[in-house]
A and B are shown apart, each in its own frame.
Chain A
Amino acid sequence: MKFKKIAAVMAAAVMVMSFAAGCGSSDEGNSAGGANISVISREEGSGTRGAFVELFGVEEEVDGEKVDQTTTDATVTNNTSVMLTTVSGDENAIGYVSLGSLNDDVKAVKIDGAEATADNIKNGSYKVSRPFNIVTKDGVSEEAQDFINFILSKQGQEVVAEEGYIPLDTTTEYAASGVSGKVAVSGSSSVSPVMEKLAEAYQALNPDADIQIQTSDSTTGVTDAINGTSDIGMASRELKDSETSQGAVGTVIATDGIAVIVNNANSVDDLTVDQVKGIFTGKTLTWDEVTK
C-alpha cells in the first residue's frame, strides 16, 4: 500500500514538526505571576505606529539610527478594526488606535492622568498626538492647490472638527473657484476617512472637480507624492528627513490623538508614559507588574 505509506510518512513528518515547534515554547514558560499582557501593535510602515513609538520613547537611538524597540512578541496587524476586535475580545490586550477610530467596544486609558479627548489635546494635557500631514512636491497642479486651499480654510477645518479631530486655527474663507479636473490623493489609512469627508465637502462646492483617494499607508503616501504618482500624499506622522530631502513638503491639516486602548473589563484606567513604554518594549510582561 504505497498510498498509506506516503500518508503515514507525511503525518509523521508533520507531527515531528509540530512537536518541535511546541517544545520551543514550553521551556520559556510563565516566568511571572498574573495574566500575560498581549501586546498588539500596528505594522512598521504605519503612521500611527511611527507616531506612537516616537511619543512614548519606544524607539531608541542605536549607533545614531533610531530603532523601533517594539517587542517582537507583539501581535502585528495592518488593520484598525482587527486591532479593535482583538482588544475588545481579549481581557489582557493592549493596543493603540487613532482617536477618530475609537469606539465603545474598548477602553481608552488615561496617560499620566489625562483622558484622551480632543479638548485635552488642545490644551496640551494629553500629549499623545500627532499631526495629519498632506504631502506635496514643487509644482502642485492648480486643481490640487485649490483643494489644499479649501482644506486649510475655515470651511475645511469645520469638517475636520466635526469628525472629532483637532482643527487648525484659521479664519481664511474659501470661495469656490469652479475648478475642474482630477486630483489624485493617496496615503495613510488614518487620514483617509477625514480626507473623504473633505473631498465630499469640496466637491459639493466644485461639482466639476474629481478627487480620487487611494488608501494605503503614510510611507506610501509620501513616496507617491515624491515620485508624482499622486498630487497629494497623506501622512499621519511627521515627515522624515530622508523624505523632505527628496523635495516632499508636509503641511499639517489637523491633529489627531492616539488612544492607548485596553479591554473594557480591564481594571487599569491610568498608565504613565513609562509604563506604556515598558509594556511595548517587552520589559513589563504581566498586568500584575503594572497594577502593583
Chain B
Amino acid sequence: MKNWKEKGMQGVFLLAACASILAVALICIFLFANGIPAMKEIGFLDFLTGQTWRPGNNIYGILPFILGSIYVTAGAIIIGVPIGIFTSVFMAHYCPKKIYPVLKSATELLAGIPSVVYGFFGLVVIVPLVRDYINTHGIRGNGGNSMLAASIILGIMILPTIIGVTESNMRSVPEQYYEGSLALGATKERTIFRIVIPAAKSGVIAGVVLGIGRAIGETMAVIMVAGNQPQMPQGIFRGLRTMTTNIVMEMGYAADLHREALIATAVVLFVFILIINLCVSLLNRRNDND
C-alpha cells in the first residue's frame, strides 16, 4: 500500500515536470501551424529577406523588422551592459551597508515598473532630448521617435536584470580570491576587474543574455518611442519598427494571410529566442567542462 502511494506520487511529480515540455510543445505547434503555411505561401526567402512590408498589396518582407529588433537590442546592450555591470560592482563592493537595502529595493522597483510607464517616460523625456539634438545638429530625423530613443529606454529597462544577475554571481565568487589578490598588493579596483569579474564571467554573460532576451521581446515601451516606420532602418536618429511592435501594431485588424504573416513574425522571434537560449546552455556546458 505504502509502496503504491510512493510510486503513485512519483508519477504525479513526473507528470507535473512534463508540464513545461507540454507547454513548449503546444506553443511550438500552434505558432508553427499558423505561421509556417504563411511563410511557405509568401516564400521563406521572400519573407525573411524581403525589404518591403505592404500588407495592402500582399507584400510581406520582414527583414526591416528583424534588423530593427537587432539594432535596437544592440543599442540597448551598448547602453545597458556597461552601466549595469559597473552598477553591480558598486552594489557588491562599494555600496555603504547603510544605504544598500534602499538601493537594492530601488533596482527591484525598476524591474516592477510596467512597460507602458517606461513608454510614456520615453515619449515625454527621452524623445524630446533626441529631437533637440537632431534639430540643433541639422540631422535628418523623424522628430525624435528613433532607434536611439528606443535603445535608451530598453537600456534602462534591462538594467535590473543585468544588475540582479551579475551582482549575485559576483557575490558567489569565493572571498579568498578577493582577499588573496588584495594581500598580494593589488588595488581594490584591479582585484574586482581582473579577479572577481573573470571568476564570475559565466554569471555575467548569463545576465547579459537575459537582458538581450528582455530587450528583443519588449513591446509596449518600444512601440511608443521607436517611430514604427515599416521600412529598412535608416540610422540611429531615424525611426524603425521591430518584430514585436509590428505584431502589436497590426494584429488587431489583420486578416487571412496578413494575420498569418504576423504570426510567422512571432515564429521568427521565437526562433531567435531559441537560438539565444541554445547559446546560453552551450556556454554553460563549456564552462562546466573548464
Is there a chain B Cβ closer than 8 Å to A176's Cβ? Answer: no
Once the chains are docked, how many angstroms separate the CA of A272 from the CA of B87?
A: 54
Determine the residue in chain B with the shortest Cβ distance to A219: B253
- The interface residues of chain B lying within 8 Å CB-to-CB of A92 are 135, 143
Cβ < 8 Å to A, chain B residues 222-249: 223-224, 227-239, 241, 248-249
The verdict on B38 contacting chain A, using a C-beta distance below 8 Å, is no
Q: Determine if B135 and A35 form an interchain contact, defined as CB atoms under 8 angstroms apart.
A: yes
Q: Within 8 Å CB of A78, what residues of B?
A: 223, 248-249, 252
Complex CA distance for A17 and B103, rounded to whole angstroms: 35
Measured CA separation A23–B224 after assembly (Å) = 25
Query: Which stretch, B29-37, B122-130, B174-182, B184-192, touches the partner chain A?
Result: B122-130
Q: How many A-B residue pairs have CB under 8 A?
A: 134
**A68 at interface (Cβ–Cβ under 8 A)?**
yes
Q: A73-B231, A76-B249 are in contact. Are A18 and B140 (CB under 8 A)?
A: no
A30-B236 contact given A72-B231, A90-B131, CB 8 Å threshold: no
Question: Is B140 touching A40 in the complex (CB atoms < 8 A)?
Answer: no
Chain A residues with Cβ under 8 A from B224's Cβ?
77, 79, 82
Contact status A25-B252, CB under 8 Å:
no
| Residues in A whose Cβ lies below 8 Å from that of B144 | 38, 89-90
Least CB separation from A285: chain B residue: B140
In the complex, besides A45-B254, A85-B123, 14 extra interface pairs with C-beta distance below 8 angstroms are: A21-B71, A30-B140, A43-B250, A68-B56, A72-B229, A72-B230, A73-B229, A74-B229, A86-B145, A90-B143, A216-B252, A216-B253, A218-B253, A219-B252
Known: A3-B205, A14-B78, A74-B229. A86 touches B143 (CB 8 A): yes
Instruction: Determine whether the beta carbon of A86 is less than 8 Å from that of B127.
Output: yes
Q: Does B75 contact A (CB under 8 A)?
A: yes
Asked if A264 is an interface residue, CB under 8 A from chain B, the answer is no
- Using known A-B contacts A17-B74, A18-B236, A82-B123, determine if residue A93 contacts B55 with beta carbons closer than 8 Å: no
Measured between beta carbons, the chain B residues less than 8 angstroms from A217 are: 252-253
Contact B57 A67 (CB under 8 A): yes
Select B55's contact among A44, A85, A90, beta carbons within 8 Å.
Answer: A44
Question: Which residue from B127, B198, B234, B255 sits with its C-beta under 8 Å from A25?
Answer: B234
A28 near B: Cβ within 8 Å? yes
Do residues B140 and A44 form an inter-chain contact, with CB atoms below 8 A?
no
Q: How far is the CA of A10 from the CA of B78 in the complex (A)?
A: 10
Instruction: With both chains docked as a complex, state the minimum distance between the C-beta of B46 and any C-beta of chain A, in angstroms.
Output: 19
Of chain B, the residue at the smallest CB distance from A67 is: B56
A260 to chain B, nearest CB (A): 16
Taken together as a complex, chains A and B put the C-alpha atoms of A23 and B227 apart, in Å, by: 19
**Chain A residues, CB < 8 A from B91:** none
**A65 is an interface residue with CB less than 8 A from chain B:** yes
Q: How many residues of A contact B (CB 8 A)?
A: 49
Q: CA of A218 to CA of B238 in the docked complex: distance in angstroms? A: 29
Q: Contact between A25 and B228 (Cβ–Cβ < 8 Å)?
A: no
Q: How far is the CA of A220 from the CA of B128 in the complex (A)?
A: 33
B112 lies within 8 A of chain A by Cβ: no
Task: Indicate whether A103 reaches chain B with its CB closer than 8 angstroms.
Answer: no
User: Are A21 and B239 closer than 8 Å at their CB atoms?
Assistant: no
Majority DSSP secondary structure for residues of A touching B:
mixed
Q: Which of A3-50 contact B (CB under 8 A)?
A: 3, 6, 10-11, 14, 17-18, 21-26, 28-30, 35-36, 38, 40, 43-45
B201 at the interface (CB under 8 A from A): yes
B284 close to chain A: CB less than 8 A? no
A35 to B137, CA, bound (A): 12
B173 CB within 8 Å of chain A: no
**B163 sits at the interface (CB 8 A):** no
For residue B77, CB closer than 8 A to chain A, the reply is yes
B280 to chain A, nearest CB (A): 13
B253 and A75: CB pair below 8 A? Answer: no
CB of A251 within 8 A of chain B? no
Contacts of B264 in A (CB 8 A): none
Residues 65-101 of A, flagged 1 when their CB comes within 8 A of B and 0 if not, give 1011000111111110010011001101100000000
* B213 contacts the other chain (CB 8 A): no
- Chain A residues lying within 8 Å of B230, measured Cβ to Cβ, are 72, 76
Contacts of B235 in A (CB 8 A): 21-26
Chain A residues within an 8 Å CB radius of B198:
1, 3
**In chain B, residues 50-77, which have Cβ atoms closer than 8 Å to a Cβ of chain A?**
55-57, 70-71, 74-75, 77
